[in-house]
Structure formats: C-alpha cells, structure tokens
Amino acid sequence: MDLTFNERELAFRDELRGWLADNKPEQRPAEADEDSGYQWRRDWQHKMYEAGWAAPAWPSEYGGRNATLTEQAIYFEELGRSRAPVMANTLGILLGGPTLMVWGTDDQKQRLLTPILSAEEIWCQGFSEPGAGSDLAAARTRAERRGETYVVNGQKVWSSFAHIADYCILVTLSDPDAPRYKGLTYLIVDMHAPGVEVRPLRQITGEAEFNEIFFNDVEVPVENRLGEENEGWQVAMTTLLHERATLGFALTAALDASVHRLVDLARERANGGERVRELVAQEWIELQALRFTNYRALGTYERTGAPGPEGSAIKLRWSEQNQRLTKLGRELLGPEGNLDDGWWHHQQLRSRGNTIEAGTSEVLRNIVAERVLGLPRSR
C-alpha cells in the first residue's frame, strides 16, 4: 500500500496536532486517587468529544468525523506522539460502539452511541467467566426468555471498568441444548438494573481496574439484544475482531509514547553504555515493525471492509514488547525507580496482564498459525 499521505490526510493530521498542542492536559496529578483519576479521564474524553476528536472514524451524526481508516491510523499515531492521556470509555469506543454500528437497530444506535463518545455512559465487557476465558463459547451465564424480557443469572469475571460502567456487553447462554456456538445471545445490560452486583478485584498494581459481576434475576428487555437470539457468537466475533484490530493502532500509539519516554530516560541518565544503547535501539526497531504491520493490516481492512486475523499478531507482539520495555525502563532507573513518580514501576506491573487480556499469547499464536499461515488446526 501507499504510505505517503495525501493532502486531505496531511490537513487532518495538522489540525489534530494543533488541537492537541493547545488542549492536551498535563499528565494526571500524581496525588489523584482512583475515583478522581477516572473523572479526570472522563473530563478529557468529553473535551475530545466536544471538539469532534473522541472517535473521528465514527459517523458525524454520532459525534465522529467520518474519518477514513488511514485517518484513523494517523489519529492514533498523533495521540501517541503527543502522549495524550487515555480516554475513560476505551471499551465503549473501541468495542461496544463499533459492534453496535454493525449489529444495532436504528433505535439502539440513536440512543446509545453518542453518550459512549461523550463519556456520559461508560461501557464494560462481560465476556469472561470463571469457566470460560479463552473458550468464550463455553459461557454459562444464563439468559432465559420470558416474553419480552431475558432473565439473566450467572457470573462474569475480569470485567475492566465494571465498577464505573453504565452498560455491559454481555455474552449469555440462551439455549443450553443447542450445539456449541449456536445457543449464545448477546445483550446490552444496564449495570444499574436490580440484581447486578459488582465486586472489584485488586490487581498487582494496587488498583481495582477489573471486577467480578454477579447477575441475580436481572431483567433485560429484548430490545437490548444485539443481533438475533442464539446468534450471539457472530456478534461477539465482531467485538473480538475489533478488540484485536482497531485496538492495534491504539496500543501501538501508547507503545510509541513509552519508547520515546525510554529514549529520554536513557539520555537523561547518561548511563547509555553500549548494551543499553543496543537494547533501546532494538525497542525502537520493534516499534517500527509493529507500525508497519499495522499499516499492512489496514490495507486488508480497506480491501475487505473487516479487520483481518493479522490483528492477533499485532496484539501478540505489542504485549510482549510492552513487558520487555517496561522492565528495561525500570532497570535503567535502578533503585531510584522506587523513589520517582513510580510510572515505570506501575507500567511494568500492569504489563503483566497484557499477555492475558484480549486473548492470551498462546491463543493468539494459534490464530496466527491457523488463520494467517494456514497451518493445520490445533484441535
């Protein structure tokens, strides 16, 4: 594909670059606790939304700018370049919204899309269960149809942001007798409905970013279903493809910011001996490889209209690089790492989950082997 930007794309980039230079806040105050930290990210997202920058690839009627895929790629690169803070409703913007746009009715889109973008309504993802993580088709959270309502009972786990969420995209089992993949139904659940209980789980970082969610006779109107009853698997696949593909650019942008931070750190500390220089340079090279793989995946997306399985390779390489990179940052600081603002320390601890969330490395390697390289199925 052609990697030079046309005039329209360059104008898009320059406008965004200018806006970020004028509006990007300083980094989150170090003393902010978890609640005020989320509110700070919510305010930042709202500001982006008001200027039309929260999700430029979304249709303008929902607050986007009808940006092309290439412009969306530029968008994420510029966010990374400027080290802009992460917005509050990442899962709504990257997963819930795009799935709604493919599967939602007009009413659902009218009602739900704009508040996702403005950060008025936060979304979470209720896919994983204690007995169903990599194997989503084994989901057992039960949705029983009673007239115009589904009655939901069961448990989800590791649901990021569920404790602050207003809606959850939920994969449920609606027909326990159906063959595998055929009995699932995809629901949008109001997290404030009676019977929804959220219990935060504290992570190694000390924060409680993810949660258990318990559903006890939760009534979900049929109009909150995405796609047909018992055909939730296809809807969930749309979410997962976006999780691994669109997210690729966002993740690479964050990595770009970290690599530059690492370069600054190596420079500042002047402990850039031969070995350190080699390691830092290698991280920069890996980042470029990831960027170009992203562009190659974008080419597939533009040709076919859907994200392809290459997204799995990007997520895999990103997660492993982020773990390596944050470890290196921490090592460059040495014992001082415990005395500074703790950014590298926190990033290193948080990166442990990167090779598990959004598909474990083992599962992603299987996908790359089977669907990108055409090797025989593992099972």
Positions marked catalytic: 243
Q: How many CB atoms lie within 10 A of CB 296?
A: 15
CA dist 366 → 106, 312, 349, 370, 373 (Å): 37, 9, 26, 6, 10
Q: Is 234 exposed, middle or buried (0-12, 13-18, 19+ CB in 10 A)?
A: middle
Most distant CA atoms of the chain, gap in Å? 70
Task: Write the interaction track for ligand FAD spanning residues 161-200; mark x where CB under 6 A is met and - where it is not.
Answer: ----------------------------------------
Kindly indicate which of the ranges 193-201, 216-224, 255-263, 362-370 contains the residues binding ligand FAD, using the contact rule CB under 6 A: 362-370
* Window 326 to 355, contacts with ligand FAD (CB under 6 A): 353
Select the residue interacting with ligand FAD from 357, 369, 370, 372 (CB under 6 A).
357
Task: Return d(Cα 125, Cα 88) in angstroms, integer.
Answer: 14
Through-space distance between the first and last CA atoms of the chain, rounded to whole angstroms: 35
Q: What are the E-state strand segments in 161-304?
A: 167-173, 184-190, 196-201, 210-221, 225-226
Query: Least Å distance between CB 314 and ligand FAD?
Result: 17
Tokens 């492993």, residue located: 320
Q: Which two tokens stand for residue 226?
A: 């995405």
Select the residue interacting with ligand FAD from 160, 205, 234, 282 (CB under 6 A).
160
Query: Least Å distance between CB 159 and ligand FAD?
Result: 5
Number of residues near ligand FAD (by CB under 6 A):
18
Query: Least Å distance between CB 266 and ligand FAD?
Result: 28
Query: Least Å distance between CB 10 and ligand FAD?
Result: 36
Q: In this complex, which beta carbon is closest to ligand FAD, that of residue 77 or of residue 243?
A: 243
The residues with which 26 forms a beta bridge, in sequence order, are none
CA dist 284 → 3, 73, 340 (Å): 19, 19, 24
State yes or no: residue 322 binds ligand FAD (CB under 6 A). Answer: no
Q: In this complex, which beta carbon is closest to ligand FAD, that of residue 39 or of residue 160?
A: 160
Task: Write the interaction track for ligand FAD spanning residues 89-128; mark x where CB under 6 A is met and - where it is not.
Answer: -----------------------------------xxxxx
Tokens 């966002």, residue located: 250
Name the helix (H) or strand (E) containing 165. none
Task: Write the interaction track for ligand FAD spanning residues 124-143; mark x where CB under 6 A is met and - where it is not.
Answer: xxxxx----xx---------
Q: Which of 376, 238, 246 is nearest to 310 (CA)?
A: 246
Task: Return d(Cα 317, Cα 291) in angstroms, integer.
Answer: 11
Select the residue interacting with ligand FAD from 210, 233, 318, 343 (CB under 6 A).
210
Query: Least Å distance between CB 67 and ligand FAD?
Result: 26
State yes or no: residue 159 binds ligand FAD (CB under 6 A). Answer: yes
Q: Which two tokens stand for residue 117?
A: 């973008």
Q: In this complex, which beta carbon is closest to ligand FAD, that of residue 128 or of residue 294?
A: 128
Query: Least Å distance between CB 128 and ligand FAD?
Result: 4
The residue sitting closest to ligand FAD, measured at its beta carbon, is 133
Select the residue interacting with ligand FAD from 32, 222, 257, 363 (CB under 6 A).
363
Kindly indicate which of the ranges 158-166, 187-195, 237-245, 280-288 contains the residues binding ligand FAD, using the contact rule CB under 6 A: 158-166
Q: Is 268 exposed, middle or buried (0-12, 13-18, 19+ CB in 10 A)?
A: exposed
State yes or no: residue 38 binds ligand FAD (CB under 6 A). Answer: no
Q: Are 318 and 255 in contact (CB under 8 A)?
A: yes
State yes or no: residue 212 binds ligand FAD (CB under 6 A). Answer: no
Query: Least Å distance between CB 303 and ligand FAD?
Result: 29
Query: Least Å distance between CB 198 and ligand FAD?
Result: 12
Q: In this complex, which beta carbon is closest to ligand FAD, that of residue 67 or of residue 196?
A: 196
Work out whether strand 167-173 and strand 123-126 pair parallel, antiparallel, or are unpaired: parallel
Task: Return d(Cα 362, Cα 366) in angstroms, integer.
Answer: 6
Task: Return d(Cα 105, Cα 102) in angstroms, integer.
Answer: 9
User: Which residues would be at the binding site for ligand FAD (CB under 6 A)?
Assistant: 124-128, 133-134, 158-160, 210, 353, 356-357, 360, 362-363, 366
